[in-house]
Structure 1
Amino acid sequence: MTLAAPTPTVPLNGDFWHTPLYTRTVDDGPAVNDALHALVLDRTRTAPTSTVGVRNADKTSSDLLRWEHPAIDHLRGWITDAAWALNDHVGAGRTPSGQDAEMIAEAWAVVYRPDGIHQLHSHHDAAWSGVYYVSTGHMQEGTGLLQFVDPRPSAAAREPDRTPLYTIRPEPGLLVAFPAWLRHWVTPYQGDAERVVVAFNVGFSRS
């Protein structure tokens, strides 16, 4: 799925560990989330799923951005905003002639059940990765957290008492984007309903 540069981009949230991080809570998300929730659960019931890297969870195929529905169009736009905000922050995304570089994206949904977890990982073949929270299932406090691992292996030598983790508490409508190489995981989820998230990768076209 090719992404066109938006005008204007949404400002970047900031940096941590000198690593760019984008967060945005989408104001018009609730109606879209209801539609995405129904689409994802229907797809997990009617199409093959994967459990690679997860436990007590199911992952859809990575063609989610090609599903034909207005809610997907909204989601694609939010992902585009995030990718170009990160590009602008680091000075990427432009050709030598100053034109917008062609970017491509893929996304898939993950449905977590109680005790669902996503193991420590990073994303390959992408510049930026991220997650959009469709529903969090009224998760219990301190569960289902998104945690990033400090990418500086020698930092602990100077600051041994500083935590090597940066934690984000998910909420419906929250979109988080970050460099694809940054390691992260999802702590075990506890809640009273299935939790639905959309993960995505964005990279530059090689053509």
Structure 2
Amino acid sequence: MQAFSTPVARIPCPFAAEVNPSLVDIVLARLENTENLFGYKSETSADLVEWGEEAADRTSSWALEMARRFTEKVMGKTLDKAFSDGRADTAEDRPPVSVGVGRSWASVYRRGDRHEAHFHPNTALSAIYYVTAPDTCELDLLDPRTGIGYYDSGIAFGGEGHGIRLRCKPGELVIFPGWLKHAVPEFEDDSLRISLSWNIGFSVGGPPKGRHK
């Protein structure tokens, strides 16, 4: 038995070719009016779902729908049933569950930029959509198990301490639990690497703040 597996999804967007060119223009325009120019990357304000841009709205809605499907596939049941199990006796008693966005933003990487290992507190799911890059968009997922570095038995039973490097193409969406540490290795190209990110949560009995499905 392999215990404590971590679900991760990679999903190609069926309309990527239609929205990605517009998303590039939208993000770069938004970046001109933000002060989130960190030393390691540039980032727009965290209100992507409120921009009122058709391409951004369409992509956000699709990402939320994929987050719902991802969760229901992992759970093996609908969100409403997953949240009501043990709390309601009949289907009629189950409150509706919405999938919504807390913070959402775009990140722009130029040569030499990187993002050290981090996770997103108070977030059920992290979702990243890759808009443009000269080749692949690399994302490192770190081993989430704590305490594995305190003793070296000489044998690695389950890849202790090893990360997974995803190499995604523009037009792909990645979804994983918000508690999973992830990092972006140093970007080594003269072109741009642009991605959209959403902190996703669930709301029982009504829609959470921000865009929802």
Take 1:66 and 1:185, find their aligned partners in 2: how far apart are those partners?
26
Amino acid at match of 1:101: V
Query: Could you say if the C-alpha distance between residues 50 and 205 of structure 1 is closer, same or farther in structure 2, counting changes exceeding 3 Å?
Result: farther
Kept after mapping to 2: 8 A contact 1:107/1:199: yes
Q: 2:137 matched to 1:151? A: no
Identity of aligned residues (%): 28
Kindly state the Cα deviation for residue 85 of structure 1 after the two structures are TM-superposed: 1.8
Kindly state the Cα deviation for residue 17 of structure 1 after the two structures are TM-superposed: 5.8
2:21 to 34, 38, 52: 34
Uncovered stretches (5+) of structure 1, i.e. residues with no partner: 1-15
Kept after mapping to 2: 8 A contact 1:131/1:198: yes
Query: Could you say if the C-alpha distance between residues 92 and 184 of structure 1 is closer, same or farther in structure 2, counting changes exceeding 3 Å?
Result: farther
Of residues 154-163 and 36-45 in structure 1, the stretch that sits farther from structure 2 once superposed is: 154-163
TM-score, with length taken from structure 1: 0.79
Kept after mapping to 1: 8 A contact 2:68/2:99: no
Q: Deviations over 1:168-206 (max 9, x none)?
A: 012110100000000010000111312111111101237
Take 1:205 and 1:196, find their aligned partners in 2: how far apart are those partners?
29
Q: 2:79 matched to 1:93? A: yes
Give 1:126's aligned residue. 123
Kept after mapping to 2: 8 A contact 1:132/1:175: yes
RMSD: 2.6
Kindly state the Cα deviation for residue 82 of structure 1 after the two structures are TM-superposed: 2.3
Q: 2:171 matched to 1:173? A: yes
User: What secondary structure, in the 3-state scheme, does the structure 1 residue paired with 2:27 have?
Assistant: helix
Q: Deviations over 1:73-123 (max 9, x none)?
A: 221122112210232122573253334312320310001010110111000
Of residues 158-167 and 179-188 in structure 1, the stretch that sits farther from structure 2 once superposed is: 158-167
Take 2:5 and 2:165, find their aligned partners in 1: how far apart are those partners?
16
Query: Could you say if the C-alpha distance between residues 86 and 160 of structure 1 is closer, same or farther in structure 2, counting changes exceeding 3 Å?
Result: same
Take 1:37 and 1:179, find their aligned partners in 2: how far apart are those partners?
26
Amino acid at match of 2:110: R
Query: Could you say if the C-alpha distance between residues 152 and 118 of structure 1 is closer, same or farther in structure 2, counting changes exceeding 3 Å?
Result: same
> Which has the larger Rg?
2
The structure with more strand, counted as a fraction of residues: 1
Kindly state the Cα deviation for residue 161 of structure 1 after the two structures are TM-superposed: 8.5
Take 1:146 and 1:197, find their aligned partners in 2: how far apart are those partners?
11
1:180-191 mapped onto 2 (5 Å cutoff) = 180-191=178-189
User: What secondary structure, in the 3-state scheme, does the structure 1 residue paired with 2:20 have?
Assistant: helix
Q: 2:35 matched to 1:48? A: yes
Take 1:93 and 1:196, find their aligned partners in 2: how far apart are those partners?
31
Take 1:180 and 1:194, find their aligned partners in 2: how far apart are those partners?
26
